[in-house]
Structure 1
Amino acid sequence: MLEAVFDIALAVAAALGALLAKPLPTRLLVVLASASSLLLAMGAFSSRWLYPWTNLAVLAFALAAGTALGRLIPPRALPLVALLLALAVADLWLNHLPAPASPSTAPRTLPSALLYGNVVVILPNGGRLLLGALDIALCAALAVHAHRRALPRWAGILPGPIGVGLGFLWMFLRSVRGLPLIPFFFAGWLLVEGAQYLARLPRARP
């Protein structure tokens, strides 16, 4: 339950942060995303323990990359459908690759890929809360893209939280862990698009 609340809060914060980044030029965002991704890659390969400062680099990359991506996608539904479908398939494929050995409860045994590819909060009991950088970036991109399509603000913010909720519901019903979230973000986006379509339908007069 705590992990779901954490992920939903991050998804909403990413969407709002991307909308607040409107004054920043896209070129600057691309430079920031490139620089932060390079720092993350160097940190992952060096296996240096820089938690919790790694979260700042992960957030910088995710927000900059997601905001830039939302600006670069044509402001129409079809290009975004193609992107979401491709990302969902890739996420499902990656989820079936062999995962790193499950770390113990000792924080410093966390794999570098986990630490440098996610926003991570280590709990006092040794547990952890996390959300992937690409998941955060996608929440940011969806918010920016909806804004460029002149949709209501909630239409850009809700797909991420809805997707997280659907993912955790699926994990609860199927008793599994570690599901890829992007397919559920896609489902959340489709639900929001459906709500938008229904809201635009002419209402019959009584």
Structure 2
Amino acid sequence: MVDEMTLSEAAQILGVTPRQAQRLAASGELGHTRRVGRTVVVAPAAVYRAQNNGTTSRGRPALPGTAWAALRLLSGGAAHGRREEHLAARLVTMSPIQIARFTRRRARITQMRVISRRAQRDLSDTITAAGLHPTGLMSPLITDWGLAGGRSEDVIDGYLYLGSDRTLRDLGLREEPGGRISLRILDEPLGSLPSAAVALDLMESMDSRARTVGRERLAQMIAVL
């Protein structure tokens, strides 16, 4: 697959007008963008993610705090207070794609590449020490869920909280569409990653089998909520 595509190509995949694709890009829904001459290009992974998480459907997404509360409840966590009880009751009425749309702003997703060979060599240790929570096809859950492990070592997908005293460049990374490192930047630290988040990230994958498994797992979580 190509590393980048134009907004016109993205609009065709998403089934929207070029003007709508421009608005999605401007609002950050299509991840990192850049200009090549007079043309705006985006990463295909971000476009297919938007296609699979209900970005173009109607309905307002939740704020990050509410999104993570929803994911904790779906993962078997107890409701704390009336507000979370009402949230749980609402989640029961949703389909997997509606959950995906509702929680899609849980983190800011960016595609990265390493800056240097030295950064590449130390990347695994560096990013693990930084507190990465592996997700999607990098999650340890996928084996139990019937998906194959053993992904390429230079492909990384996970949630990360940077804080105010650290930048991605400090980790030896730079933002670039088509990069094989997907970081989901958190607004707040995350104690542990809810299994519902992994299911959602599988639903947004470009791997058709992963999408099916993620959707099935999320449907099961909704059913037992």
**TM-score if structure 2 supplies the norm length?**
0.26
Q: Which structure features the higher share of helix residues?
A: 1
Q: Which structure features the higher share of strand residues?
A: 2
Q: Which has the higher contact order (CA 8 A, sep 6+)?
A: 1
